[in-house]
């Protein structure tokens, strides 16, 4: 049969040699190789975990940055609105101050005109009084009749009108 042609001494020697080689390989080569493989697997797992943590941190940072950007936009809009309100208020204050100044200048001008008018009226009264006295003296000096007196008064009034 099949097992008759087998050299059992050589087969047994090969089996012992193979078992010894397998034992030596498992003890000196396989264990360190498996240790290296486990370390490599652990390192890869750590890198994957680190990458996943970094990804989560990055996503959280992006969310924070978006929130900060939105907050900055809100604050910028508030600043713009406040600036608009302030500029409107300042514009209203400037217009109010200008109106007050114009009113004050107008009142001052009206008061000045009133003073000038009063001075002119006073001067006119003084002239009329002096002319009246002058007319009276001339009338007395001349003792004119009513027609002549009327003519003289008209002449003096004409003179007064020309002087004013």
pLDDT at 144 over 60: no
In terms of pLDDT, which residue wins out, 133 or 18? 18
Query: Burial, 35: exposed, middle or buried (Cβ in 10 Å; 0-12, 13-18, 19+)?
Result: exposed
The percentage of residues in the chain with a pLDDT greater than 90, rounded to a whole number, is 55
pTM, two decimals, is: 0.42
Q: In whole angstroms, how far apart are CA 25 and each of 11, 34, 35, 38, 55?
A: 20, 12, 14, 18, 42
Alpha carbon distance 47, 50 (integer Å): 5
Alpha carbon distance 92, 90 (integer Å): 5
pLDDT (tens digit per residue) in 48-101: 999 999 999 999 999 999 999 999 999 999 999 999 999 999 999 999 999 999
Alpha carbon distance 160, 146 (integer Å): 21
pLDDT at 69: 96
For helices 146-163 and 31-142, the axis angle rounded to 10 degrees is 160
């Amino acid at each position: 049969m099949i097992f008759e042609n087998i050299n059992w001494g050589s087969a047994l020697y090969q089996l012992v040699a193979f078992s010894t080689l397998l034992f030596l390989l498992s003890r000196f080569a396989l264990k360190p190789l498996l240790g290296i493989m486990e370390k490599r697997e652990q390192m890869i797992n750590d890198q994957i975990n680190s990458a996943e943590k970094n990804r989560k941190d990055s996503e959280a940072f992006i969310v924070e940055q978006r929130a900060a950007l939105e907050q900055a936009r809100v604050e910028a809009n508030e600043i713009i609105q406040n600036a608009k309100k302030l500029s409107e208020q300042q514009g209203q204050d400037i217009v109010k101050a200008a109106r007050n100044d114009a009113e004050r200048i107008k009142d001052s001008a009206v008061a000045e005109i009133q003073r000038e008018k009063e001075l002119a009226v006073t001067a006119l009264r003084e002239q009329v009084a002096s002319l009246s006295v002058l007319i009276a003296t001339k009338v007395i000096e001349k003792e004119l009749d009513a027609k002549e007196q009327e003519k003289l008064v008209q002449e003096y009034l004409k003179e007064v009108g020309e002087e004013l």
